[in-house]
Homo-oligomer: A and B are copies of this chain.
Amino acid sequence: MRPTVHDIAAVAGVSLATVDRVLNQRPGVRHVTREKVERAIRELGYVRDVAAANLAKGRTYPFVFILPASDNSFMHALNAEVRAAVARSPVDRTEIRTIEVPAFDPAALVAVLEKLGEERPAGIALVATDAPDVRDAVDRLVKEGIPVVTVVSDLTGSQRHHYAGVDNIAAGRTAARLLGRFLGGASGDVAVLAGSMLVRDHRERLEGFATVIAKEFPSLSLLPVIEGRDDPELAHMLVADALSKQRGIIGVYSLGAGNRGLIRALKEKAGDRALTVIAHELTTHTRAALLDGTIDAILNQDAGHEVRSAIRVLKAKADGLAVIDGQERIRLDIFLKDNLP
């Protein structure tokens, strides 16, 4: 049998309450007593039964998710996954509340974060807009002992405890290599559609993409980035325009959201010429486009995994526990038409 607090108490010659105080580093224990108890703990190889502790504490974890109010499929999916987690709340003792903030708006995000500082939830998960003010607000929360994790897009230079999202530089590089290899040495222009350069994930994808194209596929040349604000209408307009004017385009990389518009533009110009296209995020639209050949590969992050991982990590941090690193690494999924889930 695993040793319990009783065993520790017996070995150390103290009461349960004292053991508990030491275990939870509460004050009010003489140094010598503390040492005795700690020795007993070590000798017995005691590991705390977290389930029992939580039961006794009646502890629940009030967590907050801060999500951008963006109207694209990916954010909808992320939202849905958070709701799914809420549905599981009773089971895993979480109480998740979500707050929507305007997308790409550092000030709004900061305001919410500051309010949360007073509320002191057991943990905060946010899709970060990458700005110094946001970073400072997050660092303040961290300093106050509130666990914070970023989801999907990270916060440069901040002290957040964890980032639950993919390596976006790697994502961009991978997109570049796929595109380059699929194009098999052809020469021509490559168009890049992004959402906004205000979020770190998009910037990083572009950076990775540009690096590999430049270094390893010199016969391809990158056109200036098109910023579609993750908005299907805008994306459609801009891409259609680019395809008409730039006759040399042979490849397209869509690194943000709003692919609905992109796909429409691609189909309108389909007869024109063969295009190789790589896009991000598996949605009903991109899935259909992959299957009908409009898109050649989709890079994806699993929103469900990100949400569950964020919660696991927040919980672990709240309890001062370790996390299984491998389990929390968010993979970059690559989908061809053959391995769709």
- Contact indicator A47/B90 (Cβ below 8 Å): yes
Say how many copies of this protein the assembly contains: 2
Binary contact track A72-93/B, C-beta < 8 Å → 1, others 0: 0000000000000000101100
* Interfacial chain B residues near A339, Cβ < 8 Å: 167, 170-171, 173-174, 332, 334
Assuming A181-B182, A327-B304, A339-B167, is B47 touching A51 (CB within 8 A)?
no
Contacting residues, chain B, for A90 (C-beta < 8 A): 2, 47
Chain B proximity of A321: nearest CB distance (Å): 9
Q: List 30 A-B contacts (CB under 8 A).
A: A2-B90, A51-B51, A51-B52, A51-B54, A55-B55, A88-B324, A170-B338, A170-B339, A171-B339, A174-B336, A174-B338, A174-B339, A176-B338, A177-B337, A178-B336, A181-B181, A181-B296, A182-B184, A212-B338, A302-B326, A302-B331, A304-B326, A304-B327, A305-B326, A305-B327, A308-B324, A308-B327, A329-B341, A331-B341, A334-B339
New A-B contacts (8) at CB < 8 Å, excluding given A51-B52, A51-B55, A184-B185: A88-B324, A167-B339, A177-B338, A178-B336, A181-B181, A181-B296, A182-B184, A329-B341
Shortest Cβ-Cβ A-B pairs, 9 listed? A184-B184, A173-B338, A51-B51, A334-B334, A170-B339, A174-B339, A174-B338, A304-B326, A181-B182
